[in-house]
Chain A
Amino acid sequence: MTYLRKFLNKALLISSSFVAVTLYANEKTDYNMPVGVTEVSTKIFDLHMLIFWICVVIGIIVFSIMFWSLWKYRKSKGAVAADFDDNFWLEVGWTVAATLVLVYMAVPSTQVMVEAYDDAEGEINILVTGHQWKWHYQYLEDDVGFFSNLSTSQEQIDGDMPKGEFYLREVDEPLVIPINTRVRFLITGNDVIHSWWVPDFAVKQDAVPGFINTAWTNVPEPGIFRGACTELCGIKHAFMPVVVRAVEQEEFDAFIAEKVALVEAERMLTSKVWTKEELMERGESFYATNCSACHQANGKGIPPVFPALEGSQIALNDTDRHIEILMEGVQGSAMAAFGNMYSEVDIASVITYTRQAWSNGENGDGVIVTPKDIVDYKNKIDL
């Protein structure tokens, strides 16, 4: 029957193209798991390929028996059904065979797992905190830290500008770690659950609020390694990539020294006398990085989930409540408590900015909030 021939031809064509695509995938790492750069990631890749090939072999055996039977015992060729069913020893045989294959898979899997799982302290320990929708990195030994935000522009996302090579895989400040050093990551979440993933290190660990998970790596070569957030965390889930720069020890030391100096400089800034223009300028850039995802660049928000700031009574006439919201957040909403995350200067400048920007400056009281006001607020709360 021509129909049947067509059926088998198609079945053969499709299965062989699967195998072809699979082989292609094996060679071209764009379509397979990255081998990565660490010892653990390489072992995981080898394990992945081992299990994959075992599955391919089992698949070929089972499918060839099946398709051969379909071809050989087709009714159109006059096949008459045999009258048998059940065979105890055959049933026992394939059950035992399946079990043995699984044991063969379980042994290397357990070995790699034991090696990947190791929560001993690192030479460097970094606290990784997932925020909606950015990562914060804190170097625990040196007590310095910073946020890492997506640096791809909104124009690229909306298609108003050509997309760059590292579209959605670039950040303003990557995490920097030294090579040939055991680095332990302590991973937690600030609001919802995020998940910190760097494929080249084979590190993926959920960032759960209230809990600290650990992961570790030891990178043998300098380079830039890109990853992503892999636990659904809200509207900007796809827009909080991970970028890690592994560098020589000297470069790392210089990086930390620079960060320490910056923290010192920030402290000095609090006591400086600020003009409205200085605050506005700083506030505008802070707003663009940290606030516009929800409240939008034009201050109109996405009501009712993310309220508008333009024309808001709080932004117009209620300075005390405005400071309080920035410092403590709003319970039961996505508005986080920024008080402990950013400096007094940043908080003061963004409050000032939102009280002046758009039409708020004309319609509101136009109060300027200075870093000193924030310090006063903190002192008042401490009492």
Chain B
Amino acid sequence: MSTIVETHDHGHHGPAKGLTRWLFTTNHKDIGTLYLWFSFIMLFIGGGMAMVIRAELFQPGLQIVQPEFFNQMTTNHGLIMVFGVIMPAFVGLANWMLPMQIGAPDMALPRLNNLSFWLLPMAFGILISTLFMPEGGPNFGWTFYAPLSTTYAPSTVNFFIFSVHIMGVSSILGSINIITTIFNMRAPGMTLMKMPLFVWSWLITAYLLIAVMPVLAGVVTMMLMDINFGTSFFNAAGGGDPVLFQHVFWFFGHPEVYIMILPAFGIVSHIIETFSRKPIFGYSSMVYAMASIAILSFVVWAHHMFTVGMPLAGQLFFMYSTMLIAIPTGVKVFNWVATMFKGSISFETPMLFSIAFVALFTIGGFSGLMLAIVPADFQYHDTYFVVAHFHYVLVPGALFGIIAGAYYWLPKWTGNMYDEFLGKLHFWLTFISVNVTFFPMHFVGLAGMPRRYPDYALQFADFNALISVGAFMFGLTQLLFLFIVIKSIRTGKKAKPEVWEGAGDLGLEWTLSSPPPYHSFTVQPQVK
């Protein structure tokens, strides 16, 4: 037997210099930073596509783009925002915060962590490159229903399928890493029911991801077979079933929408308790609510398909199961309000975004409840009412959660306070424009404007012009966010370790210096 002599001096570990620091990094903070910047860049690419959509819809008629390109814009806007912005941003936050919140030096599987990130730019490079190919990129909606996405798709659909596979691998590897880290690297004394809510939200999310990403991989593989190898999974002429596609897709797709909101629940819970200076009301019911939402998410998928032709019993089952989700979601909202009640509340930027999150996410919840009512859904289905609903839960929902988290932890990451005045300005401009953009969509939807239309009837013109103005304002405002982030990286008032008044007791991350050491906790803290 041989012994390995440690000649390495662990005391002087630091980031490598230059580009290799980012290419080969196995550090959870560096990888978190990469994820967050990647998602930020994608936000502007996907947002730019939204601007093209809104410019075309500013008035009736075809002015700026042709329907073919318009469909590519709606499709890629959806794909990029879901897989390229919201999900990577949450993974980035998880990378930065999980080890610091559970008292660990790093993630459990650092090399895997590097791979999960670097798969993403490859996947999106492939996806976006299709827009420059002669046949154009995917044009069948982000839900890519067969046979529009198989028999009738441009041949670039093969690149799309490959890209979705890579994204799926990245998500699964990331989830394995997160689960392993949470189960194995918690500080002594941190039992499961003492974990911060953000850690809980990510533990549940990671399980959802592992459960459903293979389903997505399966459905795109069936597409690949149908397109290239003569199978007929979704081709009725060959004995297949186009509706099967939708069942498999939404079996992935519905848990996916909770993947995009659960981590935001965790973030917002921390922010509300910090700025209410009062511990979260009902910690355990918050955990149980998130777990119930996750479990229920597997039995509601067909509420996306109420008009597809289902038996009555099926329609009723999916209506009831969907309505059930309102209970744990309501419990969460009540708990946030109860946390604010009798607190000592201050209104820093992260808190403003979190308050807006609670209010506007609830509005998205209400429209979700309305959509669950099957007979009424016959009228709402595939109209702008649905577009309004999911943008309310994804923009002032998921995205506000991410922005709130970014402001909340930015001083911890950079060691500098961000500019509070600019932060508040960013909040108010965002808050106003988000509502000007998405609230009128409820009305055009109810009045009968279908979604994914490049051109529309005259009675929808006024609201569409208003929506476009709101959207441009929203888009421009996010450049301010970029400026604030860069400014806080470069300069600003030095942040104390606890950053926020009284936050020192709220979580382990606030016991570390700001910015924290490269290997967060080299000595495990003791949790009482």
- A residues near B (Cβ < 8 Å) are 3-4, 7, 10, 14, 18, 21, 25, 29-34, 40, 43-44, 47-48, 51-52, 55, 58-59, 62-63, 65-66, 69-70, 73-76, 79-87, 90-91, 94-95, 98-99, 102, 105-106, 109-110, 112-114, 116-117, 132, 156-159, 163, 165-169, 191-193, 195, 197, 199, 202-206, 208-211, 213-214, 227-239, 302, 304-305, 332-334
Closest B residue by C-beta to A237:
B452
A169 CB → nearest B CB, Å: 5
Closest B residue by C-beta to A167:
B458
Contact A75–B450 (Cβ < 8 Å): no
Among B30-38, B215-223, B363-371, the stretch that binds chain A is: B363-371
CB under 8 Å from chain A, chain B span 416-463: 424, 428, 432, 435, 439, 443-444, 446-448, 450-459, 463
A132 to B344, CA, bound (A): 61
Contact B151–A332 (Cβ < 8 Å): yes
B426 CB → nearest A CB, Å: 15
Known: A51-B370, A192-B148. A63 touches B346 (CB 8 A): no
B324 within 8 A of A: yes
Contact B355–A235 (Cβ < 8 Å): no
Contact B60–A163 (Cβ < 8 Å): yes
Q: A51: which of B376, B378, B453, B458 is its contact (CB, 8 Å)?
A: B376
Known: A166-B457, A305-B136. 9 other contacts (CB 8 A): A32-B443, A66-B359, A91-B285, A95-B327, A110-B316, A113-B319, A232-B71, A233-B148, A237-B67
Contact B61–A34 (Cβ < 8 Å): no
B282 CB → nearest A CB, Å: 5
Contact B450–A228 (Cβ < 8 Å): yes
A105 to B372, CA, bound (A): 11
Q: B344: which of A21, A79, A193 is its contact (CB, 8 Å)?
A: A79
B19 within 8 A of A: no
B56 CB → nearest A CB, Å: 11
Contact B316–A237 (Cβ < 8 Å): no
Q: B457: which of A40, A75, A167 is its contact (CB, 8 Å)?
A: A167
Q: What class of interface size applies to chain B in its complex with A?
A: 35 or more
B160 CB → nearest A CB, Å: 15
Sorted from nearest, which 9 A-B pairs have the closest CB atoms? A210-B236, A213-B309, A238-B453, A82-B342, A55-B366, A230-B382, A31-B443, A81-B344, A81-B277
B353 within 8 A of A: no
B278 within 8 A of A: yes
- B residues near A (Cβ < 8 Å) are 60-63, 66-68, 71, 134-136, 139-141, 145, 147-148, 151-152, 154, 236-237, 240-243, 276-285, 307-309, 312, 315-316, 319-320, 323-324, 326-327, 330-331, 333-334, 336-347, 352, 355, 358-359, 362-363, 366, 369-370, 373-376, 378-383, 424, 428, 432, 435, 439, 443-444, 446-448, 450-459, 463
B379 CB → nearest A CB, Å: 5
Known: A109-B375, A113-B374, A113-B375. A90 touches B344 (CB 8 A): no
Contact A7–B347 (Cβ < 8 Å): yes
A157 to B62, CA, bound (A): 6
Q: Which residues of B contact A157 (CB under 8 A)?
A: 61-62, 455
Closest B residue by C-beta to A66:
B337
Closest B residue by C-beta to A213:
B309
Known: A90-B338, A228-B448, A231-B145. A47 touches B344 (CB 8 A): no
A73 to B379, CA, bound (A): 43
Name which of B236, B338, B435 has the most chain A CB atoms within 10 A of its CB.
B338
Contact A205–B359 (Cβ < 8 Å): no
Contact A69–B341 (Cβ < 8 Å): yes
Q: Which residues of B contact A110 (CB under 8 A)?
A: 316, 319
Contact A65–B337 (Cβ < 8 Å): yes
Contact B450–A74 (Cβ < 8 Å): no
A295 to B335, CA, bound (A): 59
Q: Which residues of B contact A214 (CB under 8 A)?
A: 309
Contact A117–B312 (Cβ < 8 Å): yes
B241 CB → nearest A CB, Å: 7
A306 CB → nearest B CB, Å: 10
A18 to B378, CA, bound (A): 25
B370 CB → nearest A CB, Å: 5
